[in-house]
Amino acid sequence: MAVVNSKGNLKILQAKIQDMTSLRSILAFNMKLQRRILGITQAKLAEKVNTSTHYIGMIESKKKFPTPEMLERIAAALEIDAPDLFSTKTYPLTSDRTMANFQEQIIFDITQVVSSRVRELEQDYQTNETTPEDKINL
């Protein structure tokens, strides 16, 4: 799955693909991918491996590289084998794969945005801060 946020474009995806040459990049990509598959945040992963959210963020932004022991804990928390953290099989290597990943990410991002908006509207409605016109203007 490509890492493209709701404001991102294909350019972000292309930049990520071009950056897939270092071990740090491969690790970061696979950690983010597996977290998304499991639906867990950096904070939840950090809790599972007994480290800080900041450290997980530093690994995923390629600024830190974990020890072998930490790699094993991360893999276990992500429910994969440690060598899979360095697998290149998950990369969008072909245009079909790239498009499929891009589409999956768009669906994920849309779902997140819509869910967030629905929660906001529900909270507003419960506190009677929403007018009927607001409900129409989702």
In the chain, what are the domain boundaries?
Answer: 10-136
d(CA 4, CA 2): 6
Domain 10-136 has CATH 1.10.260.40: yes
Residue 69 has pLDDT above 90, yes or no: yes
Burial 34-52 (b: 16+ CB within 10 A, else e): bbeeeebebeebbebbebe
91-115 confidence digits (pLDDT tens):
554 445 556 666 677 777 788 778 8
> Which of 1-10, 77-86, 113-122 has maximum average pLDDT?
77-86
- The confidence band for 48, taking pLDDT boundaries of 50, 70 and 90, is very high
- What is the predicted pLDDT for the residue at 93? 47
pTM over 0.95, yes/no: no
- What is the predicted pLDDT for the residue at 102? 62
Q: What percent of the chain has pLDDT over 90?
A: 38
